[in-house]
Chain A
Amino acid sequence: MEPLVESFPFTGYVYPNETMIPWTVLIVVYPYLTGLVAGAFTISSLYQVFGFSQLRPVAHFALLVSLSCMVIVPVPLLLHLGRPERAFNAMITPHTTSAFAIFSYAAAFYVILLVLETWFVFRPYIVQTASMEEGPFRWVYRFATLGSNDLSENALNYDRKWLFALAIIGIPGAHGLHGYVGFVFGSLKSREWWSSDLMPAIFLFSAIISGTALVIVLYVLSCKLRRTKVDLPCLKVMAYSLWGFMMFTLLLEGVEFASLVYRGREGIDVIMSFVKGPLLVPFFILQFGLGSVLPLLVITFLVWRGMPGRALVPAITCSACLVLLAVLMMRYNVVIGGQEIAKTGKGLLAYQPPIFGREGLLAAGCVLVLPFILLSILVRFLPPWPEADAVLARRAP
């Protein structure tokens, strides 16, 4: 049986109760998933609201990515709670001064919004499939039409209006949700590593780049699996978006770190010894060097050369993979790093994530995989690819 109490070694002086790390890898996964939601939704909205027609091949797919991640977002939180059966207490009697109390409402609202938008996007497909599909799934599609079988031009125009409105609401919704996650950390005055006004903005921009990177990787992967050609103009627009938002993210992270060092408040000695010591590899090498600067240089080179050549797809995909790693490391360095610096300002803890157990790496890894399992099911029921419409048109009597 796993030990109930997992304490961690420390150097210097830490408060006795601090030898337990309250928020573990599951709380690293939580902001990572919400970030992917916001980022994927941004790609979808660039098409739905801002008319980036080049993004048509991934717009609906990005929406499904966003939905798959959002449905799983509460899972790491529920797993982490000491009394998960009481989770609804936060909804029944929300404490209005708590940043956390808003989460359940914001998450529920956002899931509903994503489900609604997905339904409107795929309504024509659902209606057509319901009339053509044979076997048990026909009933699933018939139920999914919700009795709305009208596919006249008038009805489709009505759908488009709803889609536009939902996407307009969804943009501040998704970004507000993630900015709020940054606020959960940034508003705590007890931890110098977290206590920053820039934290919501950093979380938000890193969210957008992680979601964009995920859509790039999954889109290229799906093209390989479907044996279709990658739509290069679409990939280029996503690469440009990634590049632009990465500039903002790096700038904000740099300003935040610089002001932390420049302010030099009490405990800065410990923070600097932490940054130069245990954080050297995860922060400077993995997050900053390998995950941020290298992909930025690669994409900058591609932009400079006008995105030429056969290496375009692998170069952008590899850069996107590195960005995904960087944002995961950023979440880890913020959530875990903040707790490794003792509140005393006079000591450091060394967190070693356990492999097994409820708060272990294996559990966190399983939670991270769940959205992709859900996505693989969703894309079979609701194919988001442009060619799906053509297939449907051919099958139509």
Chain B
Amino acid sequence: MQIGGRPIAARKRMNDQEKLEHGQRERRDFLNCLGSALACSVTASIAGTVGSGADARPAEAATTDASPKPAIPGYDWGQHQWAFGVDADKCIGCLRCVEACKKENNVPLDAHHFRTWVERYVTLEGEEKARIDSQADPVNIAASGSEGEYRFADRYRGEKVEQAFFVPKLCNHCTHPACVQVCPTGATYKTEDGVVVIDHAYCIGCQYCVQACPYGARYFNEHKGVTDKCTWCYHRITKGLPPACVEVCPVGARIFGDRNDKQSAISQFIQNNRVSVLRPETGNAPNVFYVGINKDVS
């Protein structure tokens, strides 16, 4: 019997052949799709890795639009861009900021853990390089009588001082923070409002971030087993309060505010002064702006 001029057996064979070819084509298509998908994902991951290395702006990957907003009543982190200013011309080295910070943030009361500290630069007559110390220097600790109390010893009495000034230091909350880049778990990250914070409940305590920070701003808290650093008192600024160090500074050497507000103290400070940042060559783009420092400060 013939249908359409072909024997049924031949037609059946043809159908089987077509089914087989169709099946093979489907498998080929599927494998092609799978191959393409794999190639795309590998390319994307390589591009991501290479890009993150070459672009030197990997920290941005940590802050995406999908980042969950903090549940702080009345606070929208998309509305602020915090920054910090230091007017070294005003600082008198009273160290009230260091004391306030330690108390506010439960920083261990010893000479090896600081969220903020103050450096003293003294250039004596006839000397080219400044002599530098901080409140954590053994001579200054001896003068204060305790590691939990802070004072600069009068160690240059009788010397001919050519230049002397104090420089408060703290985390620079960099735009491209090296610490965020190296954190293996993402426990340290940059918030939408420009603050670099650490999730103490997620940090594994590897201290890679401590190594990566060129400013020595991070320390390891042995009691908690995690890394810690300045957060610009995030718990305060999100409630409309200034950081503790800014609040207690008696001379206004520390300036804090929102760069989105052009009339804020920090916007005015940056606008009205020729500000500089520490170690700009690192590419970290710090957000602590200095006035009144010289070449010795880094």
Is A82 in contact with B214, judged by CB distance below 8 angstroms?
Answer: no
Give the complex CA separation of A47 and B212 in angstroms: 41
CB distance from B190 to the nearest CB of A (A): 12
User: Given B119, B185, B223, B226, which contacts A90 in the complex, CB threshold below 8 Å?
Assistant: B185
Closest to A82 in B: B205
Complex contacts, A95 vs chain B, CB 8 Å: 62, 183-186
Complex contacts, B58 vs chain A, CB 8 Å: 97
- Residue B202 at the chain A interface, CB threshold 8 Å: yes
- What 1/0 flags go to B170-188 for Cβ under 8 Å of A? 0000000010111111110
Q: A16, A101, A191 — which one has the most chain B CB atoms within 10 A of its CB?
A: A16
Is B225 in contact with A16, judged by CB distance below 8 angstroms?
Answer: no
- Residue B208 at the chain A interface, CB threshold 8 Å: yes
Q: B58, B183, B211, B224 — which one has the most chain A CB atoms within 10 A of its CB?
A: B211
Complex contacts, B161 vs chain A, CB 8 Å: none
Give the complex CA separation of A190 and B219 in angstroms: 15
- Residue B213 at the chain A interface, CB threshold 8 Å: yes
Is B212 in contact with A101, judged by CB distance below 8 angstroms?
Answer: no
Is B112 in contact with A5, judged by CB distance below 8 angstroms?
Answer: yes
- Residue B80 at the chain A interface, CB threshold 8 Å: no
Closest to B60 in A: A97
Asked, given contacts A81-B204, A100-B208, whether A16 binds B134 with beta carbons under 8 Å apart, the answer is yes
- Residue B114 at the chain A interface, CB threshold 8 Å: yes
Asked, given contacts A82-B203, A83-B203, whether A18 binds B216 with beta carbons under 8 Å apart, the answer is yes
Complex contacts, A4 vs chain B, CB 8 Å: 222-223
- Residue A394 at the chain B interface, CB threshold 8 Å: no
Is B204 in contact with A86, judged by CB distance below 8 angstroms?
Answer: yes
- What 1/0 flags go to A49-71 for Cβ under 8 Å of B? 00000000000000000000000
Is A96 in contact with B48, judged by CB distance below 8 angstroms?
Answer: yes
CB distance from B173 to the nearest CB of A (A): 16
User: Given A81, A82, A86, A190, which contacts B213 in the complex, CB threshold below 8 Å?
Assistant: A190
Is B185 in contact with A17, judged by CB distance below 8 angstroms?
Answer: no
- Residue A20 at the chain B interface, CB threshold 8 Å: yes
Q: B112, B217, B283 — which one has the most chain A CB atoms within 10 A of its CB?
A: B112
Give the complex CA separation of A344 and B119 in angstroms: 12
Is B205 in contact with A19, judged by CB distance below 8 angstroms?
Answer: no
CB distance from A363 to the nearest CB of B (A): 16
Complex contacts, A15 vs chain B, CB 8 Å: 117, 134, 169, 215-216
Is A343 in contact with B216, judged by CB distance below 8 angstroms?
Answer: yes
Closest to A194 in B: B211
Is A93 in contact with B226, judged by CB distance below 8 angstroms?
Answer: no
Complex contacts, A7 vs chain B, CB 8 Å: 111-112
- Residue B276 at the chain A interface, CB threshold 8 Å: no
Is B207 in contact with A23, judged by CB distance below 8 angstroms?
Answer: yes
- What 1/0 flags go to A7-22 for Cβ under 8 Å of B? 1000001111111101
Complex contacts, A305 vs chain B, CB 8 Å: none
- Residue B206 at the chain A interface, CB threshold 8 Å: yes
CB distance from B102 to the nearest CB of A (A): 12
Complex contacts, B226 vs chain A, CB 8 Å: 82-83
7 closest A-B pairs by CB: A82-B205, A15-B216, A82-B225, A97-B58, A16-B136, A100-B184, A190-B214
New A-B pairs, 8, CB < 8 Å, besides A17-B217, A100-B206: A5-B222, A13-B133, A20-B220, A22-B211, A82-B222, A89-B187, A94-B185, A343-B214
